[in-house]
Amino acid sequence: MLQEVIQELLQSDNYIQQQMTCICEFTTDGRLKNALLFASVEEYCLRPVRNQPLLVYRFVNYLRRTQRGGLTQVPSQDLVRLVSEEILTDDSDRVNLVDTQAIAEYQEAIQLEEQQALRQTVKQEFEDYLQENLGQEAVDWLQLYLQGKPQDEIAKKLNKPIKEVYRLREKVSYHAVRVFALKGKPELVDSWLSISLKEHNLGLTPKQWQQLYEQLTSMQRQILELRKAGHSIEDIASVLKLKTHQAMGEWTKVYLVAQALRSQE
């Protein structure tokens, strides 16, 4: 039964799937892949949820789904034995092993950690981009902006006229949306904001998606459909007999309309 629980974990758990993808990116050696995967699974299974390993919750939930509860289904020679759905902790508190709320809270915490890590990665990547393309002042503006500082306070911190600070904001905004998010690191930004085209329909609700479609030209609809099907801008340009920069320009318009719809929400 434990083997089946681990197999289910490997096949359906989002975190383990992400770890497997990362491992494949770092090495092609089969033995090393297996060793890293084993270590990842072991560490993940032993993460505590209310003083109990996550594997315990997975195991009990598996038994409930397959209706194998009870002593008659637990082999006497195995290390894991299901005696009760409840256990006593060291301080004599009774803990329900099938505490789905605790599991949901734990998974939510993991997702939050991953989201924060993605945010930090995006921030660092964008700062590096600004440093290279606009200079240190743009980086300083971004850092102050992310701290929640208003433009007049940023102007004082940077010792610049307020008009120059507003122009700097426009430059950073332009590069953030039209260059970095669309051309530089689109996959990273889409993953962070959960606005990927394939998985999240650009972060739009069904109603907003319909609104987007209605606002597009025939050409832009074709580009949207081809992008959703996984085609690159170069391929789309070839199919529609456009130059690459023309196809990219039309896709940018689609992206900006979607962004406007998200902002309205």
Contacts of 158 (CB under 8 A, 6+ apart): 137, 140, 141, 144, 165
| pLDDT value for 259 | 82
Q: What gap in Å lies between CA 219 and CA 256, rounded to an integer?
A: 16
Q: What percent of the chain has pLDDT over 70?
A: 80
Q: What is the mean pLDDT of residues 207-234?
A: 87
Name the residue with higher pLDDT: 141 or 1.
141
Using a pLDDT cut of 90, give the percent of the chain over it. 4
The rounded distance, in Å, linking the Cα atoms of 149 and 137 is 15
Count: domains in the chain: 3
Q: Based on the fold, state whether residues 116 and 143 are members of the same structural domain.
A: yes
DSSP state of 96: E
Locate 63 and state its tokens.
């038994």
CA dist., res. 23 & res. 32, Å (int): 9
pLDDT band at 35 (very low <50, low <70, confident <90, very high): very high
pLDDT at 92 over 80: no
**191-195 contacts, C-beta under 8 A, 24 or more apart:** 191/118, 192/115, 192/118, 192/119, 192/121, 192/122, 195/258, 195/262
The answer to whether residue 198 is domain-embedded is no
Residue 105's φ and ψ, nearest 5 degrees, are -65, -40
Range of the domain at 75: 2-98
Domain boundary at 161, 192, 223, which? 192
CA distance 111 to 117: 10
Residue where one domain finishes, among candidates 46, 69, 98: 98
Looking at the fold, whether 88 and 23 belong to one and the same domain comes out as yes
Q: Residue 105, SS3?
A: helix
Domain assignment present for 179: yes
Residue 43 resides in a domain? yes
At 94 the pLDDT is: 54
Q: Which of 98, 125, 142 is the last residue of a domain?
A: 98
Same domain, 94 and 114: no
Same domain, 127 and 187: yes
